[in-house]
Amino acid sequence: MSLSKIFSESEKAQNEVSEIASGLVKLNSAHPDGKTVDCVEYIRKYFDEKGIEYYIHAKEDNKPNIVGVLKGQSKKKILWVGHLDVVPVGEIDTWTYHPFSGKIIDGKVWGRGSSDMKGSCAAAMVAARILSKQKSIPNTVEFWFTADEEIGGGAGARWLSETKKLNGDVCIIGDGNGGGYKNPSIDLGCKGGAGTKLIARGKTAHGSTPYLGDNAIMKLLKVIPYIYKIGDYKLKLPAELEKTFKVSTKFYMAEASTPLQKKAVKKLFFYPTVACNIINGGVKTNVVPDYAEADFDIRLSPGAKVSEVRAEIERLVKEAGIPGVEVDKTRIRTPTNSKMDSAGYYESPNSEFMEKLSLTIKKATKKKPKTKILTGGTDGVSTSKIAGIPSLGYGTSLTGKAHQPDEYITIENLVLGIKVYAGFPIIF
Ligand SMILES: [Zn+2]
């Protein structure tokens, strides 16, 4: 089948892909439960109906993963990987339509996960259906739908990579923002984390005689600004990504409106980002707390050394000089090698994979895609670093929609997703 035939088949599937995206959104797979069992059943039925071979792999009963397999003529194997779990909905009052309504209105599919990333999953399902109708396809293609991406892939891509169920020559990560028709882009990789938990210990006392205690909350508050200083630590980064970091900065700058936001975006890829996102401490108004803790989301550009940043964080905590406050070491996984000590993951901008994916997107959008780095993490960390499969990201998500209330995806982007996901295996 020619690429133009694939593109016209994709256009014809506009209603089908919207209905599937909506159907997936309606099935609650939000964390903390992150149950993918209903979504997997939905996909299984679709594959059964369309005569597509599939397998289900589950580490946890409620969090299965499913793969649709299309056998090709050559020995090359292309993987497509996307996740079915979604982040919590947050305050329901902030949503115009119920987050699990999956409403299709104004050329958009609405609801939690539409953009991140049940929309891409729907596009991949239809791509599998279109490819399955071919008499023959050049390469074997596996479409993987995983669990647990939003919490590190423990029952999903990480486990599938560790157990070598995920294997192949190249992998397209369907997560992230591919820029639609207007501003097409390929993700060369994504940032990684150096998440840090700070623990403060003090001495309890009656709230009426606070001078007899040692308030853990107050101690914690004194050290938090020191953790924020890691945001001024200049990262040592791979030279081959220099241009990509510049393009990525431009990409994220488009979202920044205030001078403070613009200043932050200028640093976004060259320094760590820090966000203190959880604080816990205290039991009762009249009790001086002897324990408090703070959780920081700290993100580093790919290639930065995590151990180096951790050492600097330790130094900053020491510099604060507050006894009884320390970094929680129990949560830190010691990297087994230098590859695992490198934050996130990235691929070379010069590969045949890159060239062919770029060509597919160019044919579909009439524009040459740029390369960028995602600020959020994806399953690509597992497929690239653990399974060792070159992994490039191309998603249908929209800028600023993931993890937000009133999340939506445009039907236009869904159709573009089908074109790229079904077109690439023909070109590669
Ligand atoms: Zn995602």
Report how far ligand 1's centroid is from the alpha carbon of 222 (Å).
35
**CA of 350 relative to ligand 1 center, distance in Å:** 25
Identical topology for domains 3-190+344-427 and 192-235+271-340: no
Segments making up each domain of the chain, as ranges: 3-190+344-427, 192-235+271-340
Q: What is the pLDDT of residue 402?
A: 77
* Average pLDDT estimate for 366-386: 95
- The per-residue pLDDT for 74 is 86
pLDDT tens figures, 91-131? 999 999 999 999 999 999 999 999 999 999 999 999 999 99
Ligand 1 centroid from CA 29, angstroms:
13
Tell me the CA–centroid distance for residue 378 and ligand 1, in Å.
6
Mean pLDDT, all residues of the chain: 95
* d(CA 83, ligand 1 centre) in Å: 7
426 C-alpha to center of ligand 1: Å?
Answer: 26
Q: Output the CA 89–ligand 1 centroid distance in Å.
A: 14
Q: How far apart are CA 401 and CA 151, in angstroms?
A: 19
pLDDT beyond 90 at 336: no
Asked if pLDDT for residue 339 goes beyond 80, the answer is yes
pLDDT surpasses 80 at 405: yes
Distance from the alpha carbon of residue 341 to the mean position of ligand 1, in angstroms? 23
d(CA 145, ligand 1 centre) in Å: 12
Cα-to-centroid distance, 327 and ligand 1 (Å): 29
Angle at the Cα of 241 from the Cα atoms of 240 and 247, rounded to 5 degrees: 135
Q: How confident is the model at residue 338 (pLDDT cuts 50, 70, 90)?
A: confident
Q: How far is the CA of 174 from the centre of ligand 1 (A)?
A: 8
Strand ranges, E, within 282-376: 287-288, 291-300, 325-327, 345-346, 370-374
Q: Separation of 374 CA from ligand 1 center, angstroms?
A: 11
Ligand 1 center to residue 82 CA distance, Å?
A: 8
Mean pLDDT of 207-214: 98
Over residues 247-274, the mean pLDDT reads: 95
CA 390 from centroid of its chain's CA atoms? 16
What's the average model confidence in pLDDT over 333-360?
91
CATH architecture of 3-190+344-427: 3-Layer(aba) Sandwich (3.40)
The answer to whether 244 touches 350, Cβ cutoff 8 Å, is no
Give me ligand 1 centre to Cα 173, in Å. Answer: 10
Assign domain 192-235+271-340 to a CATH class: alpha beta
The residue among 344, 374, 414 whose CA lies nearest residue 252 is 374
CA of 79 to the centre of ligand 1 (A): 17
